[in-house]
């Protein structure tokens, strides 16, 4: 994955959003953390992984992937807020456990990063979020393509006065 390109694209989008909403001097960290938590909840909801009371199937992959890259936008954006970049890590261990447990892990790491926004916690959060993508069955290429597409939609929304 070409992370540098994604960070650059995210920076351009964030700068545009901040300029258009007059927020260049605001600290948006806590709001972006909230946005990420909400996106992760929406993603979990579309997978229906925790809905033991229902027999309805998950949403189509396309819908789930769009929610996933919404979350990725905010993870990249949080890195930019703190001046961190993701450094690709080797896959050290097999991805065990269910999807619900993995969602809990990502939520936990978001909270940890909010409480203690170190580079180490950022790397852990990023990696756990990427592992979630693997668990959901998304290839790096499909994530990258979906990110490009949604980034474009987000620019268009600013143009259209979202």
Ligand X SMILES: O=c1ccn([C@H]2C[C@H](O)[C@@H](COP(=O)(O)O)O2)c(=O)[nH]1
Residues near ligand X (CB under 6 A): 13-14, 17, 70, 73-74, 77, 150, 154
**Nearer to ligand X by C-beta: 75 or 130?**
75
| 68 exposure class (CB count in 10 Å sphere: 0-12, 13-18, 19+) | buried
**Nearer to ligand X by C-beta: 81 or 131?**
81
**Nearer to ligand X by C-beta: 34 or 95?**
34
Question: Smallest gap, in angstroms, from Cβ of residue 99 to ligand X?
Answer: 22
Answer for the pair 68, 143: CB distance below 8 angstroms, yes or no.
Answer: yes
Question: Smallest gap, in angstroms, from Cβ of residue 52 to ligand X?
Answer: 27
Question: Smallest gap, in angstroms, from Cβ of residue 13 to ligand X?
Answer: 5
Question: Smallest gap, in angstroms, from Cβ of residue 146 to ligand X?
Answer: 10
**Nearer to ligand X by C-beta: 1 or 120?**
1
**Which residue is at the shortest CB distance from ligand X?**
73
Question: Smallest gap, in angstroms, from Cβ of residue 68 to ligand X?
Answer: 10
**Nearer to ligand X by C-beta: 2 or 55?**
2
């Amino acid at each position: 994955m070409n992370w540098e390109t994604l960070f650059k694209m995210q920076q351009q989008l964030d700068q545009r959003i901040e300029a258009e909403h007059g927020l260049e001097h605001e600290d948006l960290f806590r709001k972006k953390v909230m946005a990420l938590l909400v996106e992760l909840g929406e993603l979990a909801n579309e997978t229906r992984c925790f809905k033991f009371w229902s027999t309805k199937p998950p949403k189509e992959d396309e819908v789930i992937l769009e929610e996933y890259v919404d979350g990725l936008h905010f993870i990249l954006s949080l890195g930019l807020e703190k001046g961190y970049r993701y450094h690709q890590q080797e896959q050290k261990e097999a991805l065990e456990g269910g999807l619900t447990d993995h969602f809990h892990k990502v939520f936990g790491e978001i909270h940890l990063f909010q409480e203690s926004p170190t580079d180490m916690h950022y790397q852990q959060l990023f990696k756990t979020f990427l592992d979630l993508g693997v668990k959901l069955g998304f290839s790096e290429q499909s994530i990258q393509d979906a990110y490009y597409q949604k980034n474009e939609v987000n620019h268009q929304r600013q143009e259209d006065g979202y």
